[in-house]
């Protein structure tokens, strides 16, 4: 069963593509008007693909910046000038962008940021990871702000969420982020794509495009020197985030109705968990899976509901337990919350997850072979 | 008793351009920032560019430039004005775009953006106000601070073994093929202002012709940071800043550098 609320796009073409390329192609088809980036593994295919395709899309600027710092500030300028803009990177580059992202959240500028995660901290590894969950969902840069965070679980969703990311960013005038990983970026799968022009452009009366005679000038700023004014801006932002929490939560669930053990996992790991769940069910274990699609807003209400019905929750991530904290906050002690994680570029196998499920089943005397 | 207005019988020959707002400027008395704002906005008004110009303000004393400039403005992060200007100009190539930055903003934290913006030959005007200190944060040392000059972070005078040399970034930028017109001006006397105005006019004309980056350094003062009266600061400017940062064109279309 799925509960994902996604606008349906008319798909007209099927291709076999790498995740990164599907994302780049989707951005062009979504009518992206500017992309700024800096190469970093495992997502350099995004800028490479865009550079190669750019001649077919004369209305889209594709520019390799001198750094991620410069790139995000180019995004700031282009977005402030009313353009639909995307930027992509991985861990170290996303870290460098944080000041600019904070500025954009404050100045209420839309853009789509893509983080194809690799293992960290530090220079880390180029292998896939989910170690940037905290950075993506809790703010990342300075000040009280949130990003809309979408977590694709397939190459198809790498493409679909570009449309959704742009749409949400523009609807709420805030940066949205696609949090994916090196495996999804590099793997090849079948992907259906909509035609060019599937996403209408929003009105941007606030953009700096030149002051029209008789009209007021436009100012894009994140500076509000008077504390009263700054608090006002903060209240506006918080109101927006609450509205997003009320209206934009997306998740997908499988076999939760009779589940004793509820798996919670996002992105690639949710697919691994689906496999583990099948294996567990074949052994008679009642296991369900909830996959958050939006990491902010987080499906905390649904997790809270389910936690009242299941015997325990198992969160599986490619990190040391980051979403785990949000799951615990949602569960609020209604049942035990367990964790299985691999770090530093290691991907948990379905067998490992199954083992963890079995250990929990035993611990809580969940009946085997029912 | 009603007195007739003292302007009766006079001709109006000079007034505040409509490209400046009514907001009183917050700059310290004698500071060059206000003069440069005025010159820039006057040219934009005279060239009829108000409706198609987008400015980028820095982080520094001129962070509030948008309060005074009656045009569309974006306020950039510290050092990133030229990257923001790049973003604007790339998506709106038919607009006139300028960045306005201090020496800390342009030549310290934003050095990479500065060099690469010029190196790409972005079709913008970059205005660089070199007052030798960080005015906004209280007069700390800047990359352009003169040797021996006392600031709050070089209290015994700038000394090379600790802090290196005054950075002549304008000379550096003139070497880059992406720069089309590079000049160093001042704004402390009427004559200097006239020359500065000419440089701004030329730069915007070149931008309209898509010639590449135009870069104007304005060697300016910071009476507060320098702990001087406005008059003293202007004298000090001539005696100490000009020898290190000599005024004049560094690169013109007639005399491009190799
Ligand atoms: C990332 C960051 N670092 C430091 C600061 C603090 N800061 C604000 S203005 C400034 C220096 C400005 O000096 P300058 O560019 O020379 O301009 P002026 O004030 O002299 O006109 C500094 C360091 C900041 N706002 N952001
Ligand atoms: S501190 Fe210096 S640069 Fe800033 S307004 Fe005052 S005089 Fe001008």
Handedness of CA A3, A8, A14, A20 (dihedral sign): negative
- Cβ atoms within 10 Å, residue A242: 11
Alpha-carbon distance of A319 to A342, in angstroms, equals 6
Question: Does the pLDDT value for residue A267 go beyond 80?
Answer: yes
pLDDT tens-digit series, residues A169-217: 999 999 999 999 999 999 999 999 999 988 999 999 999 999 999 999 9
Question: Does the pLDDT value for residue A370 go beyond 60?
Answer: no
The residues near A314 (Cβ < 8 Å, ≥ 6 apart) are A261, A262, A263, A264, A337, A338, A339, A340, A353, A356, A357, A360
pLDDT tens-digit series, residues A280-332: 999 999 999 999 999 999 999 999 999 999 999 999 999 999 999 999 999 99
pLDDT at residue A5, rounded to an integer:
53
pLDDT at residue B2, rounded to an integer:
75
Q: Supply the CATH classification number for the domain A13-247.
A: 3.40.50.970
In contact, A84 and A96? CB cutoff 8 Å: no
Instruction: Return the bridge partners of A193, or none.
Output: A13
Distance A7 CA to ligand 2 centre (A): 53
Instruction: Output the six-digit token pair for A298.
Output: 């987080």
Alpha-carbon distance of B71 to A271, in angstroms, equals 52
pLDDT band at A1 (very low <50, low <70, confident <90, very high): very low
Q: Do domains A13-247 and A251-368 have the same CATH topology?
A: yes
Give CA separation, A62 vs A205, A212, B33, B92, in Å.
Answer: 24, 28, 35, 14
The ipTM estimated for the assembled molecules is 0.95
Question: Ligand 1, closest atom to CA B134?
Answer: 13
By the CB < 8 Å criterion, does B245 face chain A? no
**Euclidean distance between the first and final Cα of chain A, in Å?**
22
| B83/A74 CB distance under 8 A | yes
pLDDT band at A2 (very low <50, low <70, confident <90, very high): very low
Residues of B in contact with A86 (CB under 8 A): none
Q: Is A355 exposed, middle or buried (0-12, 13-18, 19+ CB in 10 A)?
A: middle
- 3-class DSSP state of B57: strand
Percentage of chain A with pLDDT > 70? 96
Q: Is B121 exposed, middle or buried (0-12, 13-18, 19+ CB in 10 A)?
A: middle
In contact, B87 and A81? CB cutoff 8 Å: yes
- Pocket probe for ligand 2: among B24, B25, B28, the residue whose CB has the most ligand atoms within 8 Å is B28
- Cβ atoms within 10 Å, residue A213: 7
Residues of B in contact with A103 (CB under 8 A): 77
Nearest CB partner across the interface for A66, out of B66, B90, B116: B116
φ, ψ for residue A343, nearest 5 deg: -130, 175
Among A134, A140, A42, A136, smallest CA distance to A100 is for A140
Question: Does the pLDDT value for residue A254 go beyond 70?
Answer: yes
Q: pLDDT of chain B along its 258 residues, tens only? A: 677 777 777 888 889 999 999 999 999 999 999 999 999 999 999 999 999 999 999 999 999 999 999 999 999 999 999 999 999 999 999 999 999 999 999 999 999 999 999 999 999 999 999 999 999 999 999 999 999 999 999 999 999 999 999 999 999 999 999 999 999 999 999 999 999 999 999 999 999 999 999 999 999 999 999 999 999 999 999 999 999 999 999 999 988 874
| A211/B85 CB distance under 8 A | no
pTM: 0.96
List of domains in chain B: 33-251 (3.40.50.970)
Residues of A in contact with B52 (CB under 8 A): 210
How many CB contacts within 8 angstroms connect chain A with chain B?
Answer: 131
Question: Does the pLDDT value for residue A140 go beyond 50?
Answer: yes
In contact, B170 and B15? CB cutoff 8 Å: no
pLDDT at residue B1, rounded to an integer:
64
| A70/B113 CB distance under 8 A | yes
pLDDT at residue B256, rounded to an integer:
81
Question: Does the pLDDT value for residue A74 go beyond 50?
Answer: yes
pLDDT tens-digit series, residues A76-126: 999 999 999 999 999 999 999 999 999 999 999 999 999 999 999 999 999
The chain-wide mean pLDDT, for chain A, equals: 95
pLDDT at residue B6, rounded to an integer:
74
Mean pLDDT across A214-236: 97
In contact, B117 and B127? CB cutoff 8 Å: no
Cα B114 to the chain's mean position, in Å?
A: 14
pLDDT band at A7 (very low <50, low <70, confident <90, very high): low
Domain ranges of chain A: 13-247, 251-368
Instruction: Output the six-digit token pair for A252.
Output: 């997908």
pLDDT tens-digit series, residues A8-24: 778 889 999 999 999 99
Distance B62 CA to ligand 2 centre (A): 9
Using H for helix, E for strand and C for coil, what is the string for chain A?
A: CCCCCCCCCCCCEEEEEEHHHHHHHHHHHCCCCEEEECCCCCCHHHHHHHHHHHHHCCCCEEEECCCHHHHHHHHHHHHHCCCCEEEEECHHHHHHCHHHHHHHHHHCCCEEEEEEEECCCCCCCCCECCCCHHHHHCCCCCCCCCCEEECCCCHHHHHHHHHHHHHHHHHHCCEEEEEEEHHHHHCEEEEEECCCCCCCCCCCCCCCCCCCCCCCCCEECCCCCCHHHHHHHHHHHHHHHHHHHHHCCCEEEECCCCCCEEEECCCHHHHHHHHHHHHHHHCCCCEEEEEECEEECCCHHHHHHHHCCCCEEEEEECCCCCHHHHHHHHHCCCCCEEEEECCCCCCCCHHHHHHHHHHHHHHCCCCCCC
More confident residue, A250 or B4: A250
Among A167, A203, A61, A31, smallest CA distance to B87 is for A61
Could you identify the residue written with the tokens 């960045």?
B99
Q: Supply the CATH classification number for the domain A251-368.
A: 3.40.50.920
| A73/B116 CB distance under 8 A | no
């Amino acid at each position: 069963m799925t509960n994902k609320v996604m606008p349906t796009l008319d798909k007209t073409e099927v291709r076999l593509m790498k995740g990164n390329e599907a994302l780049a192609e989707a951005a062009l088809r979504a009518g992206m008007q500017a992309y700024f980036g800096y190469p970093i593994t495992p997502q350099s295919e995004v800028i490479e693909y865009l550079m190669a395709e750019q001649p077919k899309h004369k209305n889209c600027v594709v520019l390799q910046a001198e750094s991620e710092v410069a790139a995000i500030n180019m995004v700031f300028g282009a977005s402030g000038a009313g353009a639909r803009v995307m930027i992509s990177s991985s861990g170290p580059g996303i870290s460098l962008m944080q000041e600019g992202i904070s500025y954009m959240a404050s100045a209420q500028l839309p853009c789509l940021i893509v983080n194809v995660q690799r293992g960290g901290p530090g220079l880390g590894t180029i292998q896939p990871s989910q170690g940037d969950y905290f950075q993506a969902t809790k703010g990342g840069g300075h000040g009280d702000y949130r990003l809309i965070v979408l977590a694709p679980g397939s190459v198809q969703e790498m493409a679909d969420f570009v449309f959704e990311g742009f749409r949400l960013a523009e609807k709420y005038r805030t940066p949205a982020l696609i949090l994916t990983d090196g495996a999804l970026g590099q793997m090849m799968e079948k992907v259906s794509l909509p035609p060019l022009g599937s996403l209408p452009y929003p009105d941007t009366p606030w953009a700096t495009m030149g002051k029209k005679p008789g009209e007021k000038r436009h100012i894009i700023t994140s500076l509000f020197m008077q504390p009263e004014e700054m608090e006002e801006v903060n209240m506006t932002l918080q109101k927006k985030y609450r509205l997003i929490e009320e209206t934009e939560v997306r998740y997908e669930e499988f076999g939760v109705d009779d589940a004793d053990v509820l798996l919670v996992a996002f992105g690639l790991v949710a697919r691994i968990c689906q496999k583990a769940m099948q294996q567990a069910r074949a052994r008679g274990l009642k296991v369900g899976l909830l996959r958050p699609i939006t990491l902010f807003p987080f499906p905390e209400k649904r997790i809270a509901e389910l936690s009242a019905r299941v015997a325990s929750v198992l969160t599986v991530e490619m990190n040391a337990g980051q979403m785990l904290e949000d799951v615990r906050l949602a569960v609020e002690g209604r049942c035990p919350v367990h964790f299985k994680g691999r770090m530093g570029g290691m991907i948990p196998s379905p067998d490992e997850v199954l083992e963890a499920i079995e250990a929990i089943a035993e611990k809580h005397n969940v009946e085997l072979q029912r | 008793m009603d007195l007739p207005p003292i302007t009766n019988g006079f001709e109006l020959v000079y007034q505040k351009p409509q490209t400046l707002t009514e907001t009183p400027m917050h700059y310290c008395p004698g500071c060059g920032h206000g003069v440069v704002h005025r010159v820039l906005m006057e040219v934009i008004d005279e060239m009829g560019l108000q409706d198609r110009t987008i400015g980028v303000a820095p982080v520094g004393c001129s962070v509030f430039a948008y309060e005074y400039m009656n045009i569309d403005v974006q306020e950039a992060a510290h050092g990133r004005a030229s990257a923001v200007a790049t973003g604007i100009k790339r998506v709106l190539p038919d607009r006139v775009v300028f960045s306005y930055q201090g020496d800390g903003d342009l030549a310290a934290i934003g050095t990479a953006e500065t060099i690469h913006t010029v190196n790409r030959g972005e079709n913008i005007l970059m205005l660089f106000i070199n007052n030798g200190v960080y005015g906004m944060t209280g007069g700390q040392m800047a990359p352009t601070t003169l040797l021996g000059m006392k600031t709050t972070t070089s209290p015994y005078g700038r000394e090379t073994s600790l802090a290196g040399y005054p950075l002549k970034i304008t000379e550096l930028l003139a070497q880059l093929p992406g720069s089309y017109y590079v000049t160093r001006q001042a704004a402390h006397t009427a004559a200097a202002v006239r020359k500065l105005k000419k440089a701004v006019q030329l730069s915007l004309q070149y931008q309209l012709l898509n010639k590449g980056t135009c870069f104007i350094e304005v060697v300016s003062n910071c009476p507060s940071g320098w702990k001087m009266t406005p008059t003293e600061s202007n004298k000090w400017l001539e005696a100490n800043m000009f020898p290190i940062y000599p005024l004049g064109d560094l690169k013109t279309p007639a005399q491009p550098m190799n």
